[in-house]
Amino acid sequence: MLSGVVALSLLVAGQPGTAASDWMFATSNNFELYTNAGEREARQTLETFEQVRDFFMRVKSANTTTRLPVTIVGFRSLKDYKAYTPLGNSAAYYTNDTQRDYIVMGSMGSENTPLAIHEYMHLLVKHSGLKLPPWLNEGFAELYSTLQPQSGQTLLGALPPGRVRSLQDGKWIPLAQLLGVGQDSPEYNEKDRMGMFYAESWALVHMLALSKEYRENFPKLMLLMTQTGDSAEALRGAYGKSVEELEKELKRYLRSPTLTGVLFKARFEKVKIERGRPAGELETALVLAKLTSFAGRNEEAARDLRRLLESHKDNAEVEEALGYLAWRSGQVERARGYLEAAIEHGAANWKTHYDYSLLTQNDVARGEKRSAALGKVLEANPEHVDARLMLGYELYRQKSYGRALVELQKVRKVEPDKAAQLLLVEAYCALQLKMEDQARKYAAEAKKYARTPDQGRNAEQLLTWLERKESAPPALAARVAESEDEPGPSLRRVIRADTTMGTGLRMEPLSVKGKLVKMDCLDPMARLHVASGESRQQFLIRDPGMVVVRSATGGVVEMICGDQNKDVLVEYAPVRDEKLGTVGEVVALEFQ
């Protein structure tokens, strides 16, 4: 087996300046950074990112922030950086995978502050849910890249000499053509044409966002652009002007002798950054392997990661990285296997458990593992609606109707296109539990929200059967677990209105407080005998791994078969099992 040092030396061999011992790791409140450029540059870069983030949150949008951890990777030279960039002409780039955001910089230091801010703006725009064309996305990032402290305030919109010179000396791109530039256009990719594209995009956004005549409607433009996807239409909707009129006004605006930025009273706050530490061999190798995959060299990245796994057997982080790389490469079964191994070896990130659930959602044999993974997601993130829906649907498939209904009824808000499916599954769970009034209410609501013929037909069939009961109850025809996620890791966000489900249809778990007097082991199930006052009831634990156990005093609760004498609060779904004599299925136990 290769040692960690040997494996790492193979990973970084041949890459100038990337020896493992050169790398350090530093953190701040909202960022982490790996660099081989030195501690002073690391702390300076982290301070810049924290200050820009703080300014943006206070001045522009307290609601716009990142959903994922942000990792900055900074190289000490463009020569080191070149092997890890997918963009030949860039000095920095922003990208992400399903677990974190990455800003990768070709060199560090104060002279690269505008570059750092530019990439961070791309990150914020992405997480805002806005869908912007290249001219608006790059123009917005260029505008904010000029942020700088000035006399206790912050200046936005200082004139970058290089952009101004390009506009003065070069041939302009017609505005109609600029608005139509796409990700694959020459203006966006060819070095000798990119300069004018960035300069004009900066100038147009400067006028629209900062000038007295236009700035009031700039937020409206951003929203219309996201809704319509048509730049000319969005500009006309926001400002009532044609592209030709705006082009004339832009040239006049740039000739103004008073053209300048805008001062904000908010200032860059001083941020304390703790000293960094040498980066570990394993973490450095992982980061570099991920950058190799971002650069499009997936086979090389997979080879590096497999070699790393040889020297760090059963390491969950390496298995996660291999799983996500396989997923991006379209090797879905291999991705399932790696993520499953990562979970078995202690993967801590809830996103790994969620993505494993997505990848296996149609694999019946992995049902129990999927349920356990979704349980981990909800432990870390109780408001994760999609995970809650998936767990409820999985329990329905396993015919655990009471527990399914309890999980699904915790969903308070759901996107309109998911409402009918949720209500239908709740209706069929209620039907199986002989709660016909509830089933009727759910089915009627499902009919209102139906988006597909299957959904409408299922709701109508159930309502008809509940009215007539002329035959066996109908079955739910459509699949109960549909994921809208793309067929690979993606962080694309879609803005939709939420639908609040009426609280009149909610049924919380029932509970009883009393004395646990006995537990019968019915491998793999268990039956609890609980005395409450003068009554004695029995409850079924169908799957011990899915029951939440709490102790009011903390510590470990030990339960063995046979007689007990413990004060307990039992939360349960009202699912009777006549054969076992139980009145409900246990959802949670709290020992008093």
CA distances from 526 to 299, 408, 559, 582 (A): 49, 24, 11, 11
- Average pLDDT, stretch 394-419? 89
User: Does the pLDDT value for residue 578 go beyond 80?
Assistant: no
Residue pair 571/511 in contact (Cβ under 8 Å)? The answer is: yes
Kindly indicate the confidence band of residue 113, based on its pLDDT and cuts at 50, 70 and 90.
confident
Contact 493, 548 (CB under 8 A): no
Task: Identify the pLDDT of residue 330.
Answer: 86
Q: Enumerate the β-bridge partners of residue 499.
A: 414
Q: What share of the chain is helix, strand, coil (3-state, %, to 5)?
A: 50, 15, 35
* pLDDT at residue 204 greater than cutoff 60: yes
pLDDT score, position 130: 81
Asked if residues 440 and 463 have their Cβ atoms less than 8 Å apart, the reply is: yes
What is the pLDDT averaged over residues 111-133? 85
What's the pLDDT at 359? 92
Distance CA 485, CA 403 (A): 25
What pLDDT score does 67 carry? Answer: 62
In our burial notation (b when 16+ CB lie closer than 10 A, e otherwise), range 521-533 reads: eeeebbbbbbeee
Q: Which of residues 503 and 453 earns the better pLDDT score?
A: 453
Percent of the chain with pLDDT over 90: 39
pLDDT in tens, 10-48: 334 334 445 556 899 999 988 999 999 988 889 889 988
Tell me the pLDDT tens digit for each residue of 182-195.
Answer: 988 888 888 888 88
Q: Are 362 and 378 in contact (CB under 8 A)?
A: no
Average pLDDT, the chain: 83
Please report the pLDDT score of residue 60 as a whole number.
64
Q: Which CATH class is domain 510-591?
A: mainly beta
Question: In sequence order, what are the beta bridge partners of 101?
Answer: 70, 96
Residue 473 and residue 467: Cα distance in Å, rounded?
Answer: 11
Is residue 253 very low, low, confident or very high in pLDDT (cuts 50, 70, 90)? very high
d(CA 315, CA 304): 14
Half-sphere exposure of 565 (CA within 13 A, CB side): 0
Mean pLDDT for 524-552 is 81
pLDDT at 478: 42
Query: What pLDDT score does 345 carry?
Result: 96
SS3 515: strand
Residue 501, pLDDT above cutoff 70 = no
Segment of 86-90, 307-311, 481-485, 577-581 carrying the highest mean pLDDT: 307-311
Retrieve residue 44's tokens: 């300076």
Kindly indicate the confidence band of residue 151, based on its pLDDT and cuts at 50, 70 and 90.
confident
Condensed to tens digits (0 to 9), the pLDDT of residues 274-311 reads: 889 999 999 999 999 999 998 889 999 999 999 999 99
Q: Which of 97, 101, 94 is nearest to 117 (CA)?
A: 94
In whole angstroms, how far apart are CA 586 and each of 403, 446, 509, 592?
8, 28, 9, 16
Question: 503 with 411: CB under 8 angstroms?
Answer: no
For the chain, the domains span 159-260, 383-508, 510-591
pLDDT for 542: 79
Among 63-72, 246-255, 387-396, which stretch is predicted with the lowest mean pLDDT?
Answer: 63-72
Backbone angles phi, psi at 430, to 5 degrees: -60, -40
Predicted TM-score (pTM) of the model is 0.69
Question: Strand, coil or helix: what is 323?
Answer: helix
DSSP 501: P
Residue 1 pLDDT more than 70?
no
Q: What is the pLDDT of residue 323?
A: 94
